[in-house]
Amino acid sequence: MSTRPYTSVWNDLNQVEFSQGFLQAGPYRTRYLHAGDTSKPVLLFLHGITGHAEAYVRNLAAHAEHFSVWAIDFIGHGYSSKPDHPLEIPHYIDQLNHVLDTLGVQKANFSGESLGGWVTARFAQQHPARVEKIVLNTMGGTMANPKVMERLYTLSMEAAKDPSWERVKARLEWLMADPTMVTDDLIRTRQAIFQQPDWLKACESNMALQDLETRKRNMISDDDLRAIQAEALVIWTTKDPSGPVDEGERIASLIPNGRLAVMDECGHWPQYEDTPTFNRIHLDFLLGRGGER
């Protein structure tokens, strides 16, 4: 049993002025958490596969002091629209363009974790005029490790077919270096998403990128990374289950304006696992204060 004190999503949000709602972004009903004055520069937080906006509940307050922060649910995820087809990176890119148009902004800062980092890197490569700075947090899309893909697919589909407490808990524990970071409240938050009537079909669509051939045509190549013009911070962790720190270092070395920050004792959700360190290095980079290493 965990010895950690009980925490909940509401503990994370109780000092944050925020709103939760839906944007009609083109054809996509997009659910969001928003904090910060809308007159400030826009920062979009993008979660990982089968994730949701609550991945960033511990980061909204610190960033809202400087940005208009939007944590959104990708299509096929959370409470956003769930298209009736396999989801590949161009589909998420289309959603992002519609979100920016709906918000009435030409450019934004992007911070993506795992799948969110993969989408962020592709968006920055294809739409440089819409990007200020990017953060690639334990990003996906540069590797195709069959063992990791199979593990992620199995855990996700098992929880989709049987959204029991233990299945959902196991899926969340994959994200954390210390599984006791997975709180009951976090499990219940995700369980409610997985219990939606359309979730099993949505999860099958989300898992398209775990199919090797589908993944290959969506992957980020070395040349794609070299083509990114935006200033980029690559965040990697010492206990990431998707790949070693060496991969983060390689990615950062290929992006012309890229740099690396390594977080110790974290897995695949460093923004949640070590919030003070993440917020510090993240804001140092976005605000140009230096010192993010």
Identity of the amino acid at 267: G
The whole-chain average pLDDT of the chain stands at 95
Identify the three-state secondary structure at position 145. Answer: coil
pTM of the model: 0.96
How far is the C-alpha of 181 from the C-alpha of 203, rounded, in Å? 24
CB–CB of 22/31 below 8 Å?
yes
Residue 51 domain boundaries: 9-287
76: domain CATH number is: 3.40.50.1820
174: in domain: yes
pLDDT over 60 at 1, yes or no? no
Would 121 be classed as within a structural domain? yes
Any domain includes 293: no
Helices (H) and strands (E) in the chain, counts: 13, 8
- Amino acid 148: pLDDT: 86
> Looking at the domain assignment, is residue 4 inside a domain?
no
Q: Please indicate, yes or no, if residue 3 is contained in any of the structural domains.
A: no
pLDDT at 293 over 80: no
pLDDT tens digits, 109-149: 999 999 999 999 999 999 999 999 999 999 999 998 888 88
First to last CA, the chain: 34
pLDDT tens figures, 77-114? 999 999 999 999 999 999 999 999 999 999 999 999 99
Q: Is the pLDDT of residue 46 over 80?
A: yes
Looking at the domain assignment, is residue 84 inside a domain? yes
Number of structural domains, the chain?
A: 1
Residue 163 belongs to a domain: yes
pLDDT tens figures, 244-259: 999 999 999 999 999 9
Helix or strand or coil: residue 253?
A: helix
Question: Out of 29-38, 144-153, 198-207, 232-241, which region has the weakest mean confidence (pLDDT)?
Answer: 144-153
